[in-house]
Amino acid sequence: MAVLVLATLYFVKNDFSWSGKAVYQRSGSELRYENTQVEDLVKKDTDGDGVLDWEEMLRGLDPTKAETTPGTPDATVANKLRAESGTGTNTGETGAAPEENLTETDKFARELFSTAASLNQSGAVDQATVEKIGSALAEKIQNYAPRKIYALLDIKVSTDDSPAGAQAYMGSFYQALGKTPMPAYTAIDVLEKFLGDGETPDPSVLSELTPIIASLSGAIEGMLKISVPPSLASAHLDFINGAERVMENLTDVQSFESDPIVAFSGLAKYEENSVLFLSAGNKLLGVIKQKLPKS
């Protein structure tokens, strides 16, 4: 919803025309504009000078000429204007923008702007277009992949699959979890304070997530060191990866002030991943119980 609002505000602010007809067609996971991929429109460079058409029009250059002003390459003009606006310069012969250390929010804003500018230059934009751009970008927020996924090679699988081995594992398991105890409050408590009334987030409370993140990190570190009976290895690994996903989500939420898009992604995925983590813990405990010596 936030992405749709952002897209709508951009179009309204820039006086886009509304034709009332659908100009987008969905093909698989791609969006097309009058049978042309949006990506092709965004990357279009009619004069081949390295400065994309949408940027040339934005900067008052002619996208059909490599030198809008004879004797001065458009790439040179674009580089100068980028430097003046603080968006980077390029020392090469073309006007292609250099690799930059951009936050995910910077990348998101750039993609939204270039897409919108390209579509506006290609023709009328209607309500359906705005909604589909918003939906496509919202999908990206929802689908950030975990940064770290542990595999069997990362854990210590023992040869002892006996009930005694399971009992020893259970002791090591609780010891690993107890090294960095969780605080009395939960992540949900902090996130509720952060979101407040839903209109004015309070990032000052996000530091309260640090002890929770530290506890999860300590649990993961400890779980990677203990010996795991073969029959428990899969459940053990699921528990570690569940903790990792939740820890990443909370860490991402803490970046709200520096990289809000990443923070939104963490918020969007936290509930789902916390449920998966809880399920993985219950599954692991159930498997341990089955392996323990019968009394």
Q: Note whether 117 and 188 are same-domain residues.
A: no
| Residue 233 and residue 164 in one domain | yes
∠ Cα 146 151 153 (to 5°): 150
Q: Which of 89, 15, 78 is closest to 50 using CA atoms?
A: 78
| Residues 113-124, mean pLDDT to the nearest whole number | 65
Q: Please tell me whether residues 185 and 270 are part of one structural domain.
A: yes
- The pLDDT value recorded for residue 119 is 67
Q: Are 166 and 185 contained in the same domain?
A: yes
Per DSSP, the three-state class of 240 is helix
Do 53 and 122 fall within a single domain?
yes
Cα(206)–Cα(74) distance, rounded to whole angstroms? 46
Q: What 3-state DSSP class applies to 120? A: helix
Q: Is residue 147 assigned to a domain?
A: no
The tally of domains found in the chain comes to 2
Domain match, 121 and 179 both: no
Calpha distance 136→111 (Å, rounded): 11
Whether 91 and 55 share a structural domain: yes
Residue 227, helix vs strand vs coil? strand
β-strand partners of 236: none
% pLDDT > 90, the chain: 38
Confidence class for position 41, pLDDT limits 50, 70, 90? low
- Using DSSP's 3-state secondary structure scheme, residue 30 falls into strand
| Alpha carbon distance 23, 35 (integer Å) | 9
Q: 189 lies in which domain range?
A: 152-291
pLDDT of residue 14: 43
What pTM did the predictor assign? 0.64
In angstroms, the CA 260 to CA 113 distance is: 17
Mark residue 37 as left, alpha or beta (left: phi above 0; alpha: psi -120 to 50; beta: remaining).
Answer: beta
Q: What angle do CA 63, 66, 71 make, to 5 degrees?
A: 135
Radius of gyration of the chain (CA): 26
What's the pLDDT at 28? 47
Q: In angstroms, rounded to a whole number, what is the distance separating the alpha carbons of residues 65 and 74?
A: 8
Mark which of 110, 142, 174 sits at the end of a domain. Answer: 142
Mean pLDDT in the chain?
Answer: 77
SS3 call for 33 = strand
State yes or no: pLDDT of 3 exceeds 50. no
pLDDT at res. 120:
66
182's tokens = 């969780």
Would you say residue 128 lies in a domain? yes
- Distance, in Å, from the CA atom of 267 to the CA atom of 148, rounded to the nearest integer, reads 18
Q: Pick the last residue of a domain from 120, 142, 164.
A: 142
Residues 126, 162, single domain; the answer is: no
Query: Which parts of the chain are beta strand (E)?
Result: 24-27, 30-33, 36-37, 156-157, 227-228
How do residues 213-249 score in pLDDT, each as one tens digit?
999 999 999 999 999 999 999 999 999 999 999 999 9
What is the token pair recorded at 202? 């309070």
- SS3 state of residue 258: coil
Give the whole-angstrom CA distance, residue 104 versus residue 117.
20
Instruction: Collapse the DSSP code of 46 into the 3-class scheme (helix H, G, I; strand E, B; otherwise coil) and give the result.
Output: coil
DSSP annotation of 72 reads B
64 and 179 share one domain? no
Task: Give residue 207's pLDDT.
Answer: 96
Beta bridge partners of 31: 26
pLDDT confidence of residue 78 = 83
Asked if 127 and 171 sit in the same domain, the reply is no
- Between 279 and 137, whose confidence is greater? 279
Residue 199: pLDDT over 50: yes
| Per-residue model confidence (pLDDT) at position 85 | 59
The residue count for the chain: 295
Strands 24-27 and 156-157: unpaired
On whether both 120 and 230 belong to a single domain, the answer is: no
Residue 52: CB atoms within 10 Å: 23
Residue 73 tokens, joined: 């390459």
* End-of-domain residue from the set 100, 121, 142: 142
